[in-house]
Structure 1
Amino acid sequence: MIKNTLTIAGVDPSGGAGILADIKTMSALGTYATAIIAALTAQNTQTVSAVEPVSPAFIAQQIDTLFDDVRIDGVKIGMLGQASVIRVVADKLEKYKPPFIVLDPVMVAKSQARLLEKEAVSALINELIIQSHMITPNLPEAADILQLGSSPETIKEMYRVAEKLHALLPTKDERWVLLKGGHLPGNDTIDLLFNGDKMLEIEHQKIHTKNTHGTGCSLSSAICALQARFNNVPEATRQAIEYVHQSILHADSLSVGSGHGPIHHFHALWSR
């Protein structure tokens, strides 16, 4: 039986990030993708010129209507934008209790436009992170969540940050932190996957391209899809990282905009 996955996030009209990237990823990896729109953006590969929130009441209605009819095997949460939106999503997920929730704490776009209001960070921690089975922050997002003042700059610092992030998660069952190390200098990237007991290092080579728009959205969506299919977080994470790596590797075969272009979500399918 094909698994059904859900993304709750914002819309990037250029298709590189947000819900469109999530749907492409979930579809490419063999699940049936559904979506709840939480925000609209006026965005291209260079800038985010405006953000238009969707009303919490309408988001609630979207979620209720979907869950009343469709079995959801995994949920990915991306850009929510406001504390009021975070609270309504958290309330509905508490009600429906999907088997796996992966939270990508989208805070700042590649253009440096802020996508999560600063006053909403505490709501993200207290309402949504505590419900998530996995969180996937990059280093600046981790620093924002933990109020560190500056991002980790070494693997040793990343270990400490991953442990602090995991302390925000409930301990009643297994929860995971994937701390992404792409902002560290060097030619290799090390991501840390931590479940409160074992810290796994997942290393991969950096690819030098400007076309990396939507990598975080796509990675969390890939984990959601693969976890729904295989129910094995470490394996789903490794395969998701490899999928995004290959999508970046093939990104230059696309020609979308003149800024940070998208990754190639369908590289394996189109090559056939």
Structure 2
Amino acid sequence: MRSSPRRVPRVLSIAGTDPTGGAGLFADLKSIAAMGGYGMGAVTALTAQNTLGVRGVYPQTAEALRAQLDSISDDVVIDAVKIGMLGEAHIVRTVSEWLDRVRPPVVVMDPVMAATTGGRLSTDDANVALVDLARRVSIVTPNVPELGVLAGAEAAAKTFGEVLEQARAAHAELGTAVLATTGDLEDASHADVLITTEDGRARVEELPFTRIDTPNTHGTGCSMSSALATASVGASSWSEAYARVRPWMDGALLGGLELEVGEGSGPLDHNWNTRGAHLA
């Protein structure tokens, strides 16, 4: 990992919006703040969605996104970048070109393709471009269906063993670190999978977590990846950054049960630790 240790990491989220605040850029900013960072944002698309589903996606133009990204990087030193929903192929290309020019020290990519609540957030052409973009980043954080796409698998994994196999394939194909999250795995496994390269060889780590029974998982991938980007600044490894993020993530999932936001798959409580909440 390459990062610039600072007391307050400066973290840029490149993502779409969610007007209910549970996912996308708004969730990223909450997560970055919860991890002690200073959050910035470039909007890739406006969405009309809530906890019940996605009603519409309205992409930015390449010119508008490029202007946002350049206005930030021309003025502010960026310690880490989180990439979320991009949606359209021209948006993916714009982000790729900017990364090639600016070369941020840490780039975490959540390969968003669909919302937890249902509804596509990425076109087929964009999904192809996302695989190429994944080769330019520091780490990708796919859920189970997204991992299958990155690995070129015919279907999403159904067992933890299949996740391990697909994570290895994605790491070998992309040449980047892979954090495969398994919260949506059907066999109810209790570990995420981290694959990095160490001394020229793939290193596989199983990262245990406590599975929390909750319907409120809206924005989980967004929140995890942006928190990880923040925690990575100054960390010696991805596993060290993950170890800092996981307890906060567990508390946010538990806290989401008390929020009463929406009628569907509700959001996490990103600020649970500021209200005196405790892990069960």
Q: Partner residue of 2:196?
A: 195
Q: What are the residue-to-residue correspondences of 1:107-126 with 2, within 5 Å?
A: 107-126=113-132
In structure 1, runs of 5+ residues without a counterpart are: none
- Given candidates 3, 17, 25, the residue that maps to 2:9 is 3
Question: How far 1:229 moved relative to its partner?
Answer: 4.1
Question: How far 1:231 moved relative to its partner?
Answer: 4.4
- Counterpart code for 1:21: A
Q: What are the residue-to-residue correspondences of 1:170-249 with 2, within 5 Å?
A: 170=175, 175-196=176-197, 197-249=202-254
- Given candidates 30, 55, 63, the residue that maps to 1:57 is 63
Question: How far 1:187 moved relative to its partner?
Answer: 4.7
Does the aligned pair in 2 maintain the 1:132–1:169 contact within 8 Å? no
SS of 2:16's equivalent? strand
- Cα distance change of structure 1 residues 75 and 107 upon mapping to structure 2, 3 Å threshold: same
SS of 1:70's equivalent? coil
| Range moving further from structure 2, 247-256 or 231-240 | 231-240
Cα distance between partner residues in 2 of 1:20 and 1:89: 19
How large is the Cα RMSD of the aligned pairs?
1.4
SS of 1:52's equivalent? strand
SS of 2:19's equivalent? coil
The alignment-based identity, stated in percent, is: 37
Cα distance between partner residues in 2 of 1:120 and 1:22: 21
TM-score normalised by the chain length of structure 2: 0.92
Q: What are the residue-to-residue correspondences of 1:129-208 with 2, within 5 Å?
A: 129-170=134-175, 175-196=176-197, 197-208=202-213
Does the aligned pair in 2 maintain the 1:5–1:228 contact within 8 Å? no
- Across the two proteins, how many residue pairs are aligned to each other? 267
SS of 1:198's equivalent? strand
Q: What do the CA deviations read for 1:179-216 (whole angstroms, capped 9, x no partner)? A: 11122234542210001321110121221111111000
Q: Partner residue of 1:266?
A: 271
Question: How far 1:238 moved relative to its partner?
Answer: 2.2
Does the aligned pair in 2 maintain the 1:179–1:191 contact within 8 Å? yes
In structure 2, runs of 5+ residues without a counterpart are: 1-6
Question: How far 1:271 moved relative to its partner?
Answer: 1.9
Q: Partner residue of 1:104?
A: 110
SS of 2:163's equivalent? helix
- Counterpart code for 2:73: F
Cα distance between partner residues in 2 of 1:236 and 1:71: 21
Does the aligned pair in 1 maintain the 2:117–2:218 contact within 8 Å? no
Q: What are the residue-to-residue correspondences of 1:16-31 with 2, within 5 Å?
A: 16-31=22-37
Q: Partner residue of 2:3?
A: none
Cα distance between partner residues in 2 of 1:212 and 1:147: 26
Cα distance between partner residues in 2 of 1:51 and 1:189: 34
SS of 1:141's equivalent? helix
Q: What do the CA deviations read for 1:21-59 (whole angstroms, capped 9, x no partner)? A: 000000011010000000000011101100000001110
- Counterpart code for 2:266: G
Question: How far 1:254 moved relative to its partner?
Answer: 0.6
Does the aligned pair in 2 maintain the 1:10–1:18 contact within 8 Å? yes
Cα distance between partner residues in 2 of 1:227 and 1:85: 25
